Chain A
């Protein structure tokens, strides 16, 4: 099946530092999404990107849709303790060939972020 590769797997940073993580794929995606999962909770959508080269911000979060459409980056500025969690990239994988146009959302393995106060 389709794989999304995330790096790094984990990060340990001090409060106030900036964070950068990325996601790559061997296939082209037309949409890139970044979700965050807090411990014991389900993932929550942070940012959605729909156009190659697009740069989108949501507060201290900034994400970019790579120009090749095979990668995406997420940056967090001035990290705070509540940024702790697992960050997943995701993209809709087309079932066009088998399911007549439906798409299913595939997730990377996640980047686990720890912020030390």
Chain B
């Protein structure tokens, strides 16, 4: 079974530029998550989708971050304009509906963003 796919793995941009990350979840998983992991910290949830609807985006900085999950499958996370403090690994995860209740998430390898 293929895992969660993310791209790009690495991205370096200057502040005020924009960047987009892509995620393809495990086939059949209804729930998709974007987490931000700053160096030395645990992952922090940015946004959670169930199918193509948003379940929680309370910690998403909406003035600069946006995410969509068209057709309830792939998802993109965009940052515009980027700030220095956005330097982090952006982890995508997916789960079944049962897994969403039990906390059993499957994570991708992450996209490491460096903002200069």
Contact = CB atoms under 8 A, between A and B. Distances in A.
B109 interface: yes
A31 B108 contact: no
B34 to A, nearest CB: 12
Given A42-B108, A42-B110, A45-B104, A105 B45 contact: yes
B61 interface: no
B107 to A, nearest CB: 3
Contacts of A66: none
A48 B41 contact: no
Interface of B: 4, 33, 40-45, 48, 50, 55-56, 58-59, 91, 93, 100-110
A-B complex: 6 closest residue pairs judged by Cβ atoms: A42-B107, A107-B42, A33-B103, A92-B103, A102-B55, A109-B42
Given A33-B103, A33-B104, A107-B44, 20 more contacts: A4-B42, A31-B102, A31-B103, A40-B109, A40-B110, A42-B108, A42-B109, A42-B110, A43-B107, A92-B101, A92-B102, A98-B58, A102-B48, A102-B55, A103-B103, A105-B45, A105-B105, A107-B42, A108-B42, A110-B41
25 contacts: A33-B104, A40-B110, A41-B109, A42-B91, A43-B91, A43-B107, A45-B105, A48-B104, A50-B102, A88-B43, A90-B103, A91-B103, A92-B102, A92-B103, A102-B50, A103-B103, A104-B55, A104-B56, A105-B33, A106-B45, A107-B44, A109-B40, A109-B41, A109-B42, A110-B41
